[in-house]
Amino acid sequence: MQVRWIQLPFAPERGGFDEAPLLAALARSRAQRVQEYFFTHEDRPYLGLLVELDDDEARAAAVLAPSAPRRPARAHIERSVEPPEALPPLDASGHRAAAELRRWRARRAKELGVPAYRLLSNRQLDALARMRPMTLSTLMEVEGIGAARVSAHGEELLACLRTAEAGGLIDSLPLPTSAD
């Protein structure tokens, strides 16, 4: 095991500490333990790190060796979640609901100045279009939609779904004939 003292000076232009010395140390070894110390020197703040590094040369050589086989970045992640069950395709009413929700999401995201996926992911939007919940409590049955999202946008989402449903009812009414 190797112990290193690393000083990270505060970089006002970045609004934080310069992490380059720490990243350089971690590129060669793995940190076992880190103790942080904050101090100032000549009115400049520093973050001091006492880092215990694993100096296992075999591991470091394997990491740095150019001939070492590389695995895909996510190959080591074990999936414990069952794949989602196949959902039936959207019917005409579901397509109207999805289109209405997409319009709402784009408009609202622009108003709030956030990316559209922050309001509803495509998966959540699709689930809403399939389930078409009509109450705030049933909105929360959609995965990823919790109390915070329901309190912030629940009424608007329900209004979108009602508009889509009404569109379906209006579209299904017979058109007046010229004889009437």
What is the predicted pLDDT for the residue at 94? 86
Ordered mean pLDDT values, 10 residues apiece, the chain (180 residues): 84 78 78 83 85 63 48 49 60 88 93 90 90 91 90 92 75 50
State the residue for tokens 């080591």.
76
Q: Is residue 157 part of a domain?
A: yes
By C-alpha distance, which of 173, 167, 164, 133 is closest to 150?
133
Using CA atoms, how far residue 70 sits from 7, 67, 99, 139, in Å, is 32, 9, 43, 44
Q: Count of domains in the chain?
A: 2
Single pTM value for the model: 0.48
Q: Is residue 26 part of a domain?
A: yes
What is the predicted pLDDT for the residue at 168? 55
Q: Is residue 63 part of a domain?
A: no
What is the predicted pLDDT for the residue at 104? 94
**39 φ/ψ angles, rounded to the nearest 5 degrees:** -150, 165
- 109 lies in the same domain as 156: yes
What is the predicted pLDDT for the residue at 36? 84
Query: Are the C-beta atoms of residues 15 and 24 closer than 8 Å to each other?
Result: no
CA distance linking residue 98 with residue 48, whole number of Å: 53
Q: Is residue 66 part of a domain?
A: no
Amino acid at 40: T
Packing angle, helices 122-131 and 92-112, rounded to 10: 140
E strands of 12-149, at which residues?
16-17, 30-41, 44-54
Print the domain residue range for 140: 92-172
**45 φ/ψ angles, rounded to the nearest 5 degrees:** -75, 145
What is the predicted pLDDT for the residue at 136? 92
What is the predicted pLDDT for the residue at 57? 45
